[in-house]
Amino acid sequence: MLYAVMDTVRAIYPGTFDPPTNGHLDLVSRGAKIFDHLVVAVLRNSSKGAPLFTTAERVEMLHESTRQFGNVSVETFDGLLVDFARKQGARAVLRGIRAISDYEYEFQMAMMNRKLDSALETVFMMPAEKYTYVSSRLIKGVYQLNGDVSELVPPNVLQRLQDKRTARLTTMGGEVPGEV
Ligand code: PNS
């Protein structure tokens, strides 16, 4: 039987992405396989405090590392995710669950978003096992202490982290151990 696909599903993959990690990209590639179009949406003003990378830098990094996907775009948003999703014509929000510890936060967010817009579904996907412990926060912490994160972030992000460190060392006029 031939099934005619009349409808396309556009989904939003929102986050802070400070910086994007291989775990994020793993999720993008999984999302790109099941949604017709995936919008990676970078939150402009996060309540998480001063970001390491500017919004423009995060968008550039995501553009660079998602350009191989024909159905993925990168946008920024502010305010409520449900409002952004509505403007984008999205029917789903994609979020990653790495471990049980993510569940409570993700469950609350999904329920709040459902309360705000019952037409928007949240879809959870799990990244590859090798990325289940990877988070942007840990990457920044390890990198700031000169740890090796080369297997956990895409090459362009690693380069940007190195550039940040070099720029900082130049400004400080010398070596500052443990600082990006
Ligand atoms: O990568 P993060 O930091 O876990 O992503 C969190 C994000 C951006 C998905 C979340 O903070 C968000 O959706 N912010 C927009 C504000 C909003 O819609 N709040 C109501 C739902 S809880």
87 is catalytic: no
Q: Which atom of ligand 1 is nearest to the CA of 46?
A: 11
Report pLDDT for 11: 98
Per-residue pLDDT band at 170 (split at 50, 70, 90): confident
Q: Which residue has the higher pLDDT, 176 or 87?
A: 87
Q: How far apart are CA 18 and CA 79, in angstroms?
A: 18
| Distance (Å) from CA 102 to ligand 1 centroid | 13
Strands (DSSP E) found in 49-91: 72-77
Residue 167 tokens, joined: 């720029």
pTM of the model: 0.92
pLDDT of residue 1 exceeding 90, the answer is no
Q: Which residues line ligand 1 (CB under 6 A)?
A: 14-16, 43, 80-81, 109, 112-113
| 136 catalytically annotated | yes
What is the per-residue pLDDT for 96? 97
In angstroms, the CA 180 to CA 177 distance is 9
Ligand 1 center–CA 49 separation, angstroms? 14
Neighbouring-strand partners of residue 125: 96
What value, to the nearest 5°, has the Cα angle with vertex 34 and ends 31 and 40? 30
pLDDT for 40-57, tens place per residue? 999 998 888 899 999 999
Pocket test for ligand 1, best of 16, 137, 140 (most atoms within 8 A of CB): 16
Residue 172 to residue 180: CA distance in whole angstroms: 11
Mean pLDDT of the chain: 92
C-alpha 23: how far from chain center: 9
Residue 168 pLDDT: 75
Check residue 45 and give its pLDDT. Answer: 87
Tell how far the Cα of 57 is from the centroid of ligand 1, in angstroms: 19
Instruction: Calculate mean pLDDT across residues 33-42.
Output: 98
Which numbered atom of ligand 1 lies nearest the CA of 17? Answer: 1
DSSP-derived 3-state class of residue 152: coil
Q: Which pLDDT belongs to residue 5?
A: 56
Are β-strands 10-15 and 92-96 bridged in parallel, bridged antiparallel, or unpaired? Answer: parallel
Between 46 and 75, the more confident residue is 75
98 is catalytic: yes
List the residue whose alpha carbon is closest to atom 13 of ligand 1: 81
Give the pLDDT confidence score for residue 161 in this predicted structure. Answer: 95
pLDDT number for residue 87: 98
140 is catalytic: no
Reported as a pLDDT band with limits 50, 70 and 90, residue 127 is very high
